[in-house]
């Protein structure tokens, strides 16, 4: 694929909610399979793919603690939720013939590999999709930070942030304001200063400090992920 040259190795970050379809909770296997097809299309271009999937479709630490749970316990539950999502994605990708590894920041050797950086790099070189699970392994962080951290460690050239219902970064919430304007490019500092909803502030700072570009695009369009990597489609570049 001659269009494939734009990036050799990328991080795809999706929220847990991207996997739940119209159910409002949990994993919807046909939706997981649809996203897996998007990933396979990019994998077929020869791009090396890292993935981080959130856990918000199952459990969020903050909402647990808001309801009286101890925060770190609630955060560990959120991290475990991301492992379930990673396994669901692994199953869907392998069903399409794409080799994968789920790599967990929390040891659970029967279920997933432990995170060992050099080993993960080797998987990527062998064209295995690496799904990084359990976030950073630390409470008080998010999967956005995990995606940025792993993207740096794996020397990804960009983070691709697949969104639902929105095709980039807007100056205000496009679902509430008809006159919201999408940025083609925006700086990390502007995202922080204007509190634009892209990733949480620590993830933004980590990407900024390491010059890691972030491409925010819509996961709703079939072929959207491949399109972005081929230089097509609409998206916002944060840099």
Cα–Cα distances in Å, from 141 out to 134, 147, 199, 205, 222?
A: 11, 11, 12, 13, 31
Cα gap 96→176, rounded to integer Å: 38
Q: Closest Cα partner for 45 from 238, 233, 231? A: 231
- Determine which residue in the list 135, 224, 227, 233 makes contact with ligand UDP, applying CB under 6 A: 135
61 is an interface residue for ligand UDP by CB under 6 A: yes
Cβ at position 212, least distance to ligand UDP in Å: 17
Q: Is 141 among the annotated ligand-binding positions?
A: yes
Residue 136 or 236: the one with the smaller Cβ distance to ligand UDP is 136
Residue 46 or 165: the one with the smaller Cβ distance to ligand UDP is 165
Using an 8 Å Cβ cutoff, are 145 and 134 in contact? no
55 is an interface residue for ligand UDP by CB under 6 A: yes
Cα–Cα distances in Å, from 177 out to 29, 186, 194, 217?
A: 33, 19, 16, 19
H or E element at residue 91: helix 71-95
- Per-residue x/- mask for ligand UDP, residues 7 to 26, rule CB under 6 A? --------xxx---------
- Determine which residue in the list 12, 27, 36, 75 makes contact with ligand UDP, applying CB under 6 A: 75
The contact set with ligand UDP (CB under 6 A) reads 15-17, 54-56, 60-62, 75, 78-79, 81-82, 135-136, 138-139, 141-146
């Amino acid at each position: 694929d001659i269009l494939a040259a734009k990036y050799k190795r990328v991080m795809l970050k999706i929220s847990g909610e991207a996997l739940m379809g119209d159910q409002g909770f949990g994993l919807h296997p046909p939706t997981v399979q649809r996203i897996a097809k998007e990933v396979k299309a990019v994998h077929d271009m020869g791009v090396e793919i890292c993935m981080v999937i959130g856990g918000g479709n199952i459990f969020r630490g903050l909402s647990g603690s808001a309801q009286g749970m101890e925060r770190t316990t609630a955060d560990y539950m959120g991290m475990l939720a991301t492992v379930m999502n990673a396994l669901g994605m692994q199953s869907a990708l392998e069903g399409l013939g794409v080799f994968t590894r789920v790599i967990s920041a929390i040891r659970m050797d029967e279920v997933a590999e432990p995170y060992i950086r050099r080993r993960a790099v080797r998987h990527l070189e062998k064209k295995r999709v690496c799904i990084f699970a359990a976030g950073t392994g630390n409470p008080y962080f998010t999967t956005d930070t995990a995606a940025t951290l792993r993207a740096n460690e794996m020397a990804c050239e960009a983070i691709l942030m697949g969104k639902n219902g929105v095709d980039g970064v807007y100056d205000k919430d496009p679902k509430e304001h008809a006159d919201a304007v999408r940025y083609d490019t925006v700086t990390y500092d502007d995202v922080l200063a204007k509190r634009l909803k892209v990733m949480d502030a620590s993830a933004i700072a980590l990407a900024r400090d390491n010059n890691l570009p972030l491409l925010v695009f819509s996961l709703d369009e079939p072929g959207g992920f491949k399109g972005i990597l081929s230089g097509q489609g609409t998206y916002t570049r944060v840099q």
